[in-house]
């Protein structure tokens, strides 16, 4: 076999030699992006479309809110987004997105996918409006509600949503600094999008740079249709995160004047169909639905940036409040941390949201209690809005006390050495050697106690699941204080009008332990007397 093969190959080479000596314009593996982009543009009438309006129904996935420690295939499905619409103006970088959603279950500014930065209050009204104009973005909870600015991280991501459309991508490829590059591959049947494919299909992939920092790529098929537009977005919990929109061939419809636009807009945050193959944190479907009502060249109305949005400061506010001798509530935001002073060290309950929040809290602790190490960070549970600062506490040398069920997820996906290129945090910039050496955790099964002989803090595992698997609460017997997350929220001291399943779990847990609680200190909201809490339990 071998000699024949060689001979055949040599003959072929010598025959082809004169024509293959043309100077290579592109590096091996790369091809010219210009004709690919031109053909894709012609296939969907890109040059004839400057704005688009789409409407229909959609769903959203609750990214980072799994019930079972990441060992689930998908993000939990949130309420349907009814009367959904989105209007995009690519030339002027403007977008308005609206939908109806049941109030009471989502942070008001939480569109879908990521976006816990603002940590805004719970949604109050049914109608939700999200607006983007260049680098500014804001949210309105109700038709005539005051605009609330969202952080630049969210504004950037919303802008990506605008460009991660077929026409948007082709327009973005012409922007200064886009620097398109192209390659090709045989794609073997993406099962979810166009059904199981028997034969591999030759695809081209064009990659561009957007907003000076996002590398975005589009997979373009033999019909010159964009099938997948993919990028990475920063996330405080899992770092650079897969973020992609997908469109099936059959979804592209003719909307007149040779313009074709997809009626389905399917979005993944995280790896599609991951099954814990790439990460423990397995979820993907974060947005999708059918938006068949499409109007070409209908631009958004007034999207001028409100002065209040322009002037919003995202400085972290840390308010320190004494709860007892050496026990302090560090509030001022949507999530509290609780600081407990022991003789030789400090323990902190909860590292929520993102690094900026935790660095502000840590700076305040150091100012308040100098020269005492923060030795332990107690983590209540694995929901992403409660763990965005785990790496920050790792950075300052604290050991994380968490339930054992969170161990795999944290070890593989969160407290790791993976490079974070989009929003490098302290661990990414200055990776500590302890991360490799391996003393990051005290892993709790049922109970764990911190004490210096005088002060005692008891951590216990909350069972059965009231909110999430792997939940701990912390109890200070001397002060009769119970610190908990998400089992009772008391924003502005307002308790739920009737007990939720999570509230009952908290109540039952305290009964089972037989502990004497006078004050509940929630991670969300104000300290609450036990006697007020039991009023809602009946
Ligand atoms: Zn939670
Ligand atoms: Zn929470």
Q: Where are the domains of the chain?
A: 30-309, 319-536
Please give the pLDDT value at position 519: 98
| pLDDT, tens digit (0-9, with 9 covering 90-100), for 252-270 | 999 999 999 999 878 999 8
| pLDDT, tens digit (0-9, with 9 covering 90-100), for 400-422 | 999 999 999 999 999 999 999 99
Closest CA to 513 of 447, 455, 449: 447
Residue 365 vs residue 110, higher pLDDT: 365
**Is residue 162 a contact partner of residue 168, using CB atoms and an 8 Å limit?**
yes
Q: How far is the CA of 109 from the centre of ligand 1 (A)?
A: 17
**Is residue 410 a contact partner of residue 402, using CB atoms and an 8 Å limit?**
yes
Q: What average pLDDT is seen over the chain? A: 91
**Is residue 410 a contact partner of residue 281, using CB atoms and an 8 Å limit?**
no
Could you tell me which CATH number the domain at 30-309 has? Answer: 2.50.20.10
Please give the pLDDT value at position 112: 77
CA of 471, nearest ligand number: 1
Please give the pLDDT value at position 310: 97
Q: How far is the CA of 509 from the centre of ligand 2 (A)?
A: 18
Please give the pLDDT value at position 273: 78
Q: How far is the CA of 471 from the centre of ligand 1 (A)?
A: 9
**Tally of CB atoms within 10 A around 129:** 18
The pLDDT confidence band at residue 114, using thresholds 50, 70 and 90, is: low
Q: How far is the CA of 43 from the centre of ligand 2 (A)?
A: 46
The mean pLDDT value for 220-224 works out to 94
Q: How far is the CA of 237 from the centre of ligand 2 (A)?
A: 14
What does the angle CA 339 – CA 341 – CA 347 come to, to the nearest 5 degrees? 55
Q: How far is the CA of 156 from the centre of ligand 2 (A)?
A: 24
Q: What is the DSSP string of 253-270?
A: EE-STT-EEESB-EEEES
| End-to-end CA gap in the chain | 82
The mean pLDDT value for 376-392 works out to 96
Q: How far is the CA of 232 from the centre of ligand 2 (A)?
A: 25
337-364 burial: b if 16+ Cβ within 10 Å, else e: bbbbbbeeebbbbbbbbbbbbbbbbbeb
| pLDDT, tens digit (0-9, with 9 covering 90-100), for 427-477 | 999 999 999 998 899 999 999 999 999 999 999 999 877 788 999 999 999
CA of 382, nearest ligand number: 1
Asked whether residue 1 carries a pLDDT value surpassing 50, the answer given is no
Please give the pLDDT value at position 538: 78
- Tell me the whole-structure pTM to 2 decimals: 0.92
Please give the pLDDT value at position 5: 43
What gap in Å lies between CA 391 and CA 398, rounded to an integer?
Answer: 10
CA of 467, nearest ligand number: 1
Hey, which residues does 457 pair with through a beta bridge?
A: 450
* Pairing, β 260-262 against β 181-187: unpaired
Length of the chain, please?
538
Q: How far is the CA of 397 from the centre of ligand 2 (A)?
A: 25
Q: How far is the CA of 96 from the centre of ligand 1 (A)?
A: 29
> Running DSSP on this structure, what letter comes out for residue 190?
-
Residue 294: both structure tokens together: 């499409």
Asked whether residue 6 carries a pLDDT value surpassing 50, the answer given is no
Q: CATH classification of 319-536 is 3.60.15.10, yes or no? A: yes
The mean pLDDT value for 231-238 works out to 95
Residue 121: both structure tokens together: 């209050």
What gap in Å lies between CA 162 and CA 50, rounded to an integer?
Answer: 12
**Is residue 97 a contact partner of residue 85, using CB atoms and an 8 Å limit?**
yes
For the CA atoms of 332, 338, 341, 345, what is the dihedral angle to 10 degrees?
-100
Peptide bond into 464 cis (omega under 30): yes
Asked whether residue 2 carries a pLDDT value surpassing 80, the answer given is no
Q: How far is the CA of 127 from the centre of ligand 1 (A)?
A: 25
Asked whether residue 10 carries a pLDDT value surpassing 50, the answer given is no
Among the ranges given (20-29, 112-121, 265-274, 456-465), the one the predictor scored with the smallest mean pLDDT: 112-121
CA of 62, nearest ligand number: 1
CA of 524, nearest ligand number: 2
CA of 489, nearest ligand number: 2
pLDDT over 90 percentage in the chain: 77
What gap in Å lies between CA 46 and CA 522, rounded to an integer?
Answer: 52
Please give the pLDDT value at position 282: 75
> Running DSSP on this structure, what letter comes out for residue 413?
I
Asked whether residue 93 carries a pLDDT value surpassing 60, the answer given is yes
Give yes or no on whether 30-309 and 319-536 have one common fold: no
Please give the pLDDT value at position 14: 47
Hey, which residues does 108 pair with through a beta bridge?
A: none
Q: How far is the CA of 385 from the centre of ligand 1 (A)?
A: 7
The mean pLDDT value for 124-128 works out to 95
Please give the pLDDT value at position 4: 45
Q: How far is the CA of 486 from the centre of ligand 1 (A)?
A: 5
């Amino acid at each position: 076999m071998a000699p024949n093969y060689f001979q055949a190959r040599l003959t072929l080479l010598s025959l082809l030699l004169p024509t293959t000596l043309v100077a290579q314009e592109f590096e091996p593996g790369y091809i010219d992006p210009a004709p690919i982009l031109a053909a894709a543009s012609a296939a969907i009438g890109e040059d004839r479309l400057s704005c688009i309006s789409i409407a229909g129904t959609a769903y959203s996935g609750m990214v980072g809110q799994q019930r079972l420690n990441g060992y689930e295939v998908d993000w939990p499905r949130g309420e349907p987004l009814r009367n959904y619409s989105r209007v995009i103006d690519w030339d002027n970088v403007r977008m308005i997105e609206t939908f109806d959603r049941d109030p009471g279950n989502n942070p008001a500014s939480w569109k879908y996918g990521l976006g816990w930065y603002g940590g805004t209050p719970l949604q109050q009204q049914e109608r939700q409006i999200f607006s983007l104009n260049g680098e500014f973005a804001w949210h309105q909870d109700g038709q005539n509600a005051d605009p609330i600015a969202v952080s630049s991280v969210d504004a950037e991501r919303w802008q990506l949503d605008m460009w991660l459309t077929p026409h948007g991508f082709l327009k973005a490829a012409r922007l200064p600094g886009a620097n398109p590059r192209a390659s090709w591959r045989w794609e073997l049947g993406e099962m979810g999008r166009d059904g199981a494919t028997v034969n591999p299909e030759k695809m081209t992939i064009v990659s561009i740079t957007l907003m000076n920092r996002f590398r975005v790529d589009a997979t373009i098929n033999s019909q010159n249709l964009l099938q997948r537009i993919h990028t990475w977005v920063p996330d405080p919990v899992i770092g650079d995160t897969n973020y992609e929109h997908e469109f099936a061939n059959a979804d592209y419809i003719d909307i007149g004047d040779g313009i074709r636009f997809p009626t389905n807009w399917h979005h993944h945050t995280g790896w599609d169909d991951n099954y814990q193959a790439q990460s423990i944190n397995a979820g993907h479907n974060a947005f999708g639905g059918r938006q068949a009502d499409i109007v070409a060249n209908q631009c958004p109305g007034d999207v001028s940036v409100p002065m209040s949005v322009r002037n919003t400061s995202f400085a972290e506010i840390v308010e320190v409040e004494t709860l007892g001798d050496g026990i302090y509530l560090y509030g001022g935001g949507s999530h509290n941390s609780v600081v407990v002073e022991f003789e030789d060290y400090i323990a902190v309950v909860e590292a929520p949201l993102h690094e900026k929040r935790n660095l502000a809290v840590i700076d305040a602790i150091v100012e308040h209690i100098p020269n005492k190490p923060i030795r332990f960070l107690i983590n209540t549970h694995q929901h992403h809005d409660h763990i965005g600062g785990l790496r920050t506490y790792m950075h300052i040398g604290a050991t994380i006390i968490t339930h054992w069920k969170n161990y795999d997820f944290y070890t593989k996906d969160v407290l790791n050495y993976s490079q974070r290129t989009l929003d490098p945090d302290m661990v990414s910039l200055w990776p500590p050697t302890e991360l490799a050496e391996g003393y990051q955790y005290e892993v709790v099964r049922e109970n764990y106690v911190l004490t210096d002989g005088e002060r005692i803090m008891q951590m216990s595992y909350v069972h059965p699941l009231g909110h999430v698997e792997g939940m701990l609460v912390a109890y200070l017997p001397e002060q009769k204080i119970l610190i908990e997350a998400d089992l009772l929220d008391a924003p502005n001291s307002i308790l739920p009008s009737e007990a939720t399943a999570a509230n009952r779990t908290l109540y039952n847990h305290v009964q089972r332990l037989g502990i004497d609680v006078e004050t509940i200190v929630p991670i969300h909201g104000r300290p609450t007397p036990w006697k007020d809490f039991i009023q809602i339990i009946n």
